[in-house]
């Protein structure tokens, strides 16, 4: 496995992730983590036992030939893992499709704890700026 060297961009840590499966994008102790699998193009949200809320948003613009312009807008997925309310929230792990060839924002949190990253997937590799 290649050694990953963090890069600094305007004081923000830019961490290129390799194309190996199971790379952690975010890890928020006491809440949970987000794991990317660029080979399968999925994001997996894993709770540490505390309910964890998550959201992923990306731009869905595409070129419309007949109109001669870009059309579309933002798409978002929001959910919860390890929750107590509805049965679909009780699972401690949830996997969704990763936005392909897109820049996206992923956020996880619970109460006063929050972590976020801006990521870009391209050709099975992901780079992220973590906040």
Q: What percent of the chain has pLDDT over 90?
A: 40
pLDDT band at 4 (very low <50, low <70, confident <90, very high): very low
Give Cα 2 to chain centroid, integer Å. 22
Whether 8 has a pLDDT exceeding 80, the answer reads no
pLDDT band at 1 (very low <50, low <70, confident <90, very high): very low
For the ranges 34-38, 53-57, 113-117, which has the lowest average pLDDT? 34-38
The structure's pTM equals 0.75
pLDDT of residue 89: 67
Beta bridge partners of residue 114, listed in sequence order: 109
């Amino acid at each position: 496995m290649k050694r990953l060297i963090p890069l600094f961009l305007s004081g923000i840590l830019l961490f290129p992730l390799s194309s190996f499966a199971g790379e952690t994008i975010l890890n928020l102790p006491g809440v949970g983590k987000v794991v990317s699998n660029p080979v399968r193009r999925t994001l997996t949200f894993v709770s540490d036992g505390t309910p964890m809320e998550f959201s992923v948003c990306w731009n869905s613009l595409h070129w419309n030939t007949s109109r001669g312009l870009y059309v579309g807008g933002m798409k978002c997925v929001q959910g919860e893992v390890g929750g107590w309310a509805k049965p679909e929230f009780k699972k401690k792990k949830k996997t969704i499709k990763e936005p392909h060839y897109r820049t996206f924002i992923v956020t996880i949190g619970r109460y006063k704890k929050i972590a976020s990253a801006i990521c870009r997937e391209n050709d099975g590799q992901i780079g992220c700026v973590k906040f």
